[in-house]
């Protein structure tokens, strides 16, 4: 075999190897970089992903006023109150003088895979350098990007900041709302042992009022239903109906039952 023919074969082998490397290593990473770039290019995406959660100091518990929700106790003591039962929870509208606050409580449930530790970890997710995407293990990078998007960027309530809190009875995260509607603040509440999970949305005319109302609520909030009963929707409904069925301000939203 001539020397020139051997060189051609060697070069052909080198080209095939390079193409395999390109196909198996480089191309997937270029595609992931492209997908990540599209993700952080969306409005407020990079800004939200760059938010660092802050430890929240709640006020002293208010034990002078306890309002039972059937499945939990909350420090609500308004001059007037109205309640609405809907399929996913309980709405409570409170009015004190000229101040009006609405609380939307989801029904307590098991956290399943959405644990407190996972939510804190995802809240701490930060933007990823393209060099990390290119040189790190592919499965790890995909997991980081997917988790950061699903748990942090895609939750619009993270846009104004994230807080982490803990009391003697509960722990969780506060999501300080959307840029468009800053008067709406959401908290993700876990029982102290992390076995019960619940959400509450606070709505008012101003971010400051919502923040004060949320902080006051969380400082004394207590999930009273046992963990063994949180998946029993009939039992939860009985608790709520038993608590409020005789209250003239209690309304059942039949459209959502």
Report whether 196 contacts 190 (CB < 8 A). yes
The predicted model scores a pTM of: 0.83
Q: Which helix (H) or strand (E) element contains residue 190?
A: strand 184-191
d(Cα 255, Cα 61) in Å, to the nearest integer? Answer: 37
To the nearest whole percent, how much of the chain has pLDDT over 90?
A: 39
Of the pLDDT bands very low, low, confident and very high (cuts 50, 70, 90), residue 222 is very high
Q: What is the pLDDT of residue 36?
A: 86
pLDDT at 164 over 60: yes
In tens, the pLDDT along 63-120 reads: 778 888 989 999 987 677 888 887 778 889 888 766 789 999 999 999 888 899 999 9
CA distance 250 to 238: 14
What does the pLDDT average to over 207-221? 94
> Are residues 238 and 85 in contact, defined by beta-carbon separation less than 8 angstroms?
no
**pLDDT for residue 133 is more than 70:** yes
Q: What is the pLDDT of residue 257?
A: 43
Question: String of b and e for 66-104 (b: at least 16 CB within 10 Å)?
Answer: eeebbbbbbbbebeebbbbbbeebbbbbbeeeeeebbbb
Say how far apart CA 178 and CA 156 lie, in whole Å. 5
Lowest mean pLDDT among 49-58, 176-185, 244-253: 244-253
CA dihedral 44, 171, 203, 155 (to 10 degrees): 20
Question: Tokens in use for 4?
Answer: 């020139």
Q: What is the pLDDT of residue 159?
A: 94
**Segment 11-33, tens digit of pLDDT:** 767 777 776 766 667 778 888 88
């Amino acid at each position: 075999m001539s020397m020139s023919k051997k060189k051609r074969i060697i070069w052909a082998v080198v080209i095939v190897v390079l193409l395999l490397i390109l196909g198996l290593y480089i191309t997937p990473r270029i595609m992931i970089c492209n997908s990540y770039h599209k993700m952080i290019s969306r409005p407020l995406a990079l800004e939200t992903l760059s938010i660092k959660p802050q430890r929240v100091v709640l006020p002293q518990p208010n034990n002078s006023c306890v309002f039972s929700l059937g499945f939990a106790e909350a420090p609500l003591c308004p001059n007037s109150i109205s309640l609405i039962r809907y399929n996913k929870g309980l709405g409570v509208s409170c009015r004190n003088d000229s101040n009006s606050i609405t609380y939307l409580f989801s029904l307590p449930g098991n956290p399943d895979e959405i644990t407190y530790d996972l939510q804190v970890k995802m809240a701490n997710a930060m933007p990823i350098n393209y060099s990390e995407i290119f040189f790190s293990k592919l499965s790890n990078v995909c997991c980081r990007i997917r988790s950061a998007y699903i748990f942090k960027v895609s939750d619009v309530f993270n846009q104004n900041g994230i807080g982490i809190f803990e009391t003697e009875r509960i722990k969780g995260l506060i999501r300080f709302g959307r840029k468009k509607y800053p008067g709406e603040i959401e908290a993700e509440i876990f029982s102290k042992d992390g076995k019960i999970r619940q959400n509450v949305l606070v709505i008012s005319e101003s971010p400051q009022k919502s923040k004060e109302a949320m902080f006051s609520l969380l400082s004394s909030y207590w999930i009273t239903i046992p963990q063994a009963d949180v998946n029993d929707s009939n039992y939860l409904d009985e608790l709520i109906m038993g608590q409020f069925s005789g209250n003239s301000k209690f309304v059942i939203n039949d459209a959502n039952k």
